[in-house]
Amino acid sequence: MAKDESSPSGGTWRKWVDLGQSATIVALALSLFSFYRSYVYVNQKLDVTVTEVSYGTNTGELYMTVAFSNGGNRDGAVLRVEPALWALGRNGKPQWVPVAAPITPDLPVVAPRVPLVVKSGGIEVLKLSTLLNAAEAEKRLVSLQDGAYLGLRVATMAADGKLYLIEHPVARLRIDKSGRILSAEAAIHKSLPGFSNQQQAPPGDAVTSYDQTPFVWAEEHYQ
């Protein structure tokens, strides 16, 4: 005998069928959305944030900490990252000059070593350790309003194979009248888009927020 849909039991059965159909439609929609996000929609985003700059001028030890955050849905690569000094280049013009001398043979300039892959949704924190002789640096510094500048050079590659280069000031070194380093202050107050080409000369960012301002320190150069 056929079910009487007007009866209480028939109405309940029809509600369960409708609920099952709705659940199937929702599951299919989620599956299609997941497929779209994974294989069709492309969001390439890599943020570069300097979190610390520390310079022991009398020992020549320069340390930086840089975080790479991938907020996109594609992997990205950090090909090179290095501290830099705003100094006179070989052509006699001011430019960002890489600083890549190791402090000791067993301490890598960049740890972990590059190139490295930053997975989608992942974060990688790199520690930069290099030797910057203060006396030699003071001879090459290009002073701007009683200050000189340390910077960061970063080379990246997006998942589509495009290459990018970033050069940006990260710290201002205060210089006395005799040309010696006194202290340092931050020259960057934001994260940088890792998949972009930026070659920015000093003085750096205007302060709009301290949420992404790194800790910056340098001791006075006595020697």
pLDDT digits (tens, 9 = 90+) for 41-84: 678 999 999 999 999 999 999 999 999 999 998 999 999 999 99
| Terminal-residue alpha carbon distance, the chain | 103
Residue among 157, 158, 148 nearest 179 (CA): 148
pLDDT at 1 over 50: no
Q: Give the side-chain half-sphere CA count within 13 A for 155.
A: 8
Q: How confident is the model at residue 27 (pLDDT cuts 50, 70, 90)?
A: confident
Q: How confident is the model at residue 25 (pLDDT cuts 50, 70, 90)?
A: confident
* 207 phi, psi to nearest 5 deg: -75, 115
Q: Report pLDDT for 78.
A: 98
Q: How confident is the model at residue 8 (pLDDT cuts 50, 70, 90)?
A: low
Which of these ranges, 26-35, 134-143, 192-201, has the smallest mean pLDDT?
Answer: 26-35
> How far does CA 36 lie from the centroid of its chain?
27
Task: Give kind and range of the element (H or E) at residue 25.
Answer: helix 8-35
The whole-model pTM stands at 0.80
Question: How does strand 123-131 pair with strand 110-111?
Answer: antiparallel
| Distance of alpha carbon 184 from alpha carbon 74, whole angstroms | 37
Q: How many Cβ atoms are within 10 Å of 137's Cβ, its own excluded?
A: 22
More confident call, 107 vs 38? 107
Question: What 3-state DSSP class applies to 137?
Answer: helix
Mean pLDDT across 102-117: 96
Mean pLDDT across 91-115: 93
Q: How confident is the model at residue 188 (pLDDT cuts 50, 70, 90)?
A: very high
Q: Report pLDDT for 11.
A: 57
| Distance of alpha carbon 61 from alpha carbon 132, whole angstroms | 6
User: CA gyration radius for the chain?
Assistant: 27
Each as own residue / partner, the long-range contacts of residues 60-64 (CB below 8 Å, 24 or more positions apart, any chain) are: 60/131, 60/132, 60/133, 60/134, 61/103, 61/129, 61/131, 62/99, 62/128, 62/129, 62/130, 62/131, 62/132, 62/150, 63/127, 63/128, 63/129, 64/127, 64/128, 64/152, 64/170
pLDDT tens column, 172-186: 998 888 888 899 999
